[in-house]
Amino acid sequence: MLLHGLSGLRAAGLGCELSAVHVHHGLSPHADAWADFCWQLCERFDVALAVERVEVPLATGEGLEAAARRQRHAVFARCPADWLALAHHRDDQAETVLFRLLRGAGVRGAAGMPGERRQAAGPRLIRPLLGVPRTTIAAHAAEQALCWVEDESNADRRHRRNHLRHAVLPCIAQQFPAAAQALARAAGHFAEAAQLLDELAVIDRSLVAGGEGRIDLRRFNRLSASRDRKSTRLNSSHLVISYAALFLT
């Protein structure tokens, strides 16, 4: 649906070039068929396509999904574009928030996926469908006679995230029909809180600055423990200098 929508905007005079990238992980026996599907779809919408083959290391200890994601984002960083649109939707966001909360995430992790994010290199990532429910997307796809492929690994409930998607979230929705909407809204609140904490840490850094790249430990010790931790993360390199200076004076 995302490619269909963007190609429609281009036809309406969006005023930018549109291309697509497909990352071929080589992990599924259907991987070649998925690449072929992408070629056909992009040909239908007159969109240039690049298929990038990657090798996902299986012995890194980070897990298959995490390793595949890392390779995928490495491809994204190399894309010669200003913006790169991803098709995550509201149900994906709700799933991400719940998954991270169950793993004990802080406010930044509980903020889920940002609607827009600048990478260290490459195009800026955007998620224009992040507020759209899966049911709305499926209904629009059916109305427009759009086809898609399903990754069979998404049905494997041995993966915790898939278990959340297929078992836990539907159970929650029976008692809380607006659960996905509420979790996605909470992600926005967490994102705002994370931004405020970052801004507070910058203020605290200026408050405890002692000059010449040092930290004034007396001022630093007046901060609450939680503000200490946040400020320390911003000032870790300066703290080494500060403590060294403390022992030398």
Q: Per-domain residue ranges for the chain?
A: 2-177, 184-248
The pTM of the full predicted model, rounded to 2 decimals, is 0.83
For position 191, what pLDDT does the model report? Answer: 96
Average pLDDT of the residues in 107-113:
96
Which residues are CB-contacts of 127 (< 8 A; sequence separation ≥ 6)? 85, 86, 87, 88, 113, 114, 115, 116
Q: Is the pLDDT of residue 182 over 90?
A: yes
Q: Mean pLDDT lowest for which of 98-102, 153-157, 176-180, 217-221?
A: 217-221
In angstroms, what CA-CA distances link 208 with 187, 222, 239, 244? 31, 9, 11, 16
Is 3.40.190.10 the CATH number for 2-177? no
User: pLDDT-derived band of residue 211, with 50, 70 and 90 as boundaries?
Assistant: low
Strands 48-53 and 209-211 come out as unpaired
Give Cα 73 to chain centroid, integer Å.
10
Q: Is the pLDDT of residue 75 over 90?
A: yes
